């Protein structure tokens, strides 16, 4: 364990405990917890949350109404976090009419990239195999990611939309499994319709005065500490194509990564990818990094309403 990762884990955990103190599972949510989706018994676990009124006879004994899906890629500087930290935020999205897949993934530095990207692929294969049981509409899958999770989700969106990026990943990481579920025609069977990228760090080569830990991050996150090849493969902005899914992207004045949003917006514009950009807060109320996960904030409610409405506009019948 590096000193950087140890410090991040302690600092982030303390803040998250304060943020979520006293919160409980809402009465209108049904949850299915600690479902194994991969080989790591501790980290490859996920929860599914659904609105109670969308459950008919219950998962065990009958059918459930299929709902559009939101998968959550949590943040935490690539070294911290799990599904427990995001459960209340995730259940608030389920209250808006979605089935939410909230998962933990393998963390750095114990697990270097691309382990995290492999785990996201494994979650999508799990959704394909279990969508009937949990009422997941795999023709209408969306995803949200913030901070490091926004970076990983940005890369995953490239993986599902650009065969050349998949080839480049496999050339660099030949033993990694980036396979996605396919139907009998060889087409991707779990459709990623749109994504929300919140407070992400999209280009790891760029920083500013408020973002000084990049060398420490690279040392813990990447096997080669940030070689030219690694930085090219992990720069989300380099792998946006015209087939990239629609994007909701947001930040706020108090976000120390707000300078990164224009890099991603520029890549989306250059490739004619439809997107919505929101800048929440103002000088009097600058908000802060990942404010949308704080269920006590009215601004979080507004932001999460906006993102879910964006997803609804991309539901296909």
If pLDDT is split at 50, 70 and 90, which confidence band does 1 have?
low
Picking from 278, 296, 287, the residue whose alpha carbon sits closest to that of residue 254 is: 287
Tokens coding 103: 């998962």
If pLDDT is split at 50, 70 and 90, which confidence band does 60 have?
low
- pLDDT surpasses 60 at 56: no
Using the structure block, give the residue that is written with the tokens 């494994």.
122
Least confident of 128-142, 200-214, 244-258: 200-214
For 247-299, write each residue's pLDDT tens digit: 999 999 999 999 999 999 999 999 999 999 999 999 999 999 999 999 999 99
**Mean pLDDT, rounded, of the chain:** 95
DSSP 130-161: HHHHHTEEEEEEEEEEETHHHHHHHHHHHHHH
Instruction: Please give the pLDDT value at position 62.
Output: 56
Fold of 3-312: Rossmann fold (3.40.50)
81 within 8 A of 12, measured Cβ to Cβ: yes
Q: Rounded CA gap, 130 and 126, in Å?
A: 6
- pLDDT surpasses 60 at 120: yes
100 within 8 A of 158, measured Cβ to Cβ: no
Instruction: Please give the pLDDT value at position 74.
Output: 98
DSSP 199-258: S----TT---TT---HHHHHHHHSTTSS-HHHHHHT-GGGG--TTSPEEEEEE-TT-TTG
Picking from 256, 295, 293, 269, the residue whose alpha carbon sits closest to that of residue 144 is: 293
Bond prior to 304 in cis (omega within 30° of 0)? no
Domain boundaries, the chain: 3-312
Tokens coding 300: 């979080």
Q: Rounded CA gap, 247 and 265, in Å?
A: 9
- Could you give phi then psi for residue 31, rounded to 5 degrees? -130, 145
Tokens coding 16: 């998250």
Cα distances from 173 to residues 177, 235, 240, 303, in angstroms, run 9, 16, 20, 37
Picking from 192, 50, 172, the residue whose alpha carbon sits closest to that of residue 121 is: 192
If pLDDT is split at 50, 70 and 90, which confidence band does 226 have?
very high
Question: How large is the average pLDDT for residues 185-210?
Answer: 91
Instruction: Please give the pLDDT value at position 61.
Output: 54
- pLDDT surpasses 90 at 55: no
């Amino acid at each position: 364990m590096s000193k950087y990762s140890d410090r991040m884990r302690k600092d982030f955990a303390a803040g998250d405990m304060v943020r979520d103190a006293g919160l409980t599972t809402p009465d209108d949510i049904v949850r299915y917890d600690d479902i194994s989706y991969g080989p790591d018994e501790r980290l490859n676990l996920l929860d599914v949350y659904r609105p109670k009124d969308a459950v008919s006879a219950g998962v065990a004994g009958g059918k459930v109404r299929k709902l559009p899906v939101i998968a959550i890629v949590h943040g935490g500087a690539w070294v911290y976090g799990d599904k427990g930290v995001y459960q209340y935020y995730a259940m608030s999205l389920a209250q808006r009419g979605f089935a939410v897949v909230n998962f933990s993934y393998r963390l750095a530095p114990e697990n270097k990239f691309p382990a995290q990207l492999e785990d996201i692929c494994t979650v999508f294969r799990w959704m394909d195999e279990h969508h009937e049981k949990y009422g997941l509409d795999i023709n209408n899958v969306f995803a949200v990611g913030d901070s490091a999770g926004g970076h990983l989700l940005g890369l995953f969106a490239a993986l599902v939309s650009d065969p050349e990026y998949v080839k480049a990943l496999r050339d660099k990481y030949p033993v990694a499994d980036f396979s996605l579920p396919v139907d009998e025609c060889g087409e991707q069977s779990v459709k990623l319709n749109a994504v929300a990228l919140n407070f992400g760090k999209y280009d790891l080569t760029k920083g500013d005065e408020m973002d000084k830990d990049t060398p420490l991050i690279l040392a813990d996150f990447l096997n080669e500490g940030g070689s030219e090849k690694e930085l090219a493969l992990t720069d989300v902005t380099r792998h946006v194509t015209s087939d990239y899914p629609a994007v909701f992207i947001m930040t706020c004045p108090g976000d120390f990564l707000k300078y990164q949003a224009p890099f991603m917006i520029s890549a989306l514009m250059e490739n004619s990818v439809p997107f919505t950009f929101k800048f929440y807060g103002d000088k009097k109320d600058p908000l802060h990094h990942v404010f949308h996960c704080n269920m006590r904030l009215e601004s979080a409610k507004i932001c999460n309403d906006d993102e879910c409405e964006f997803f609804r506009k991309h539901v296909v019948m």
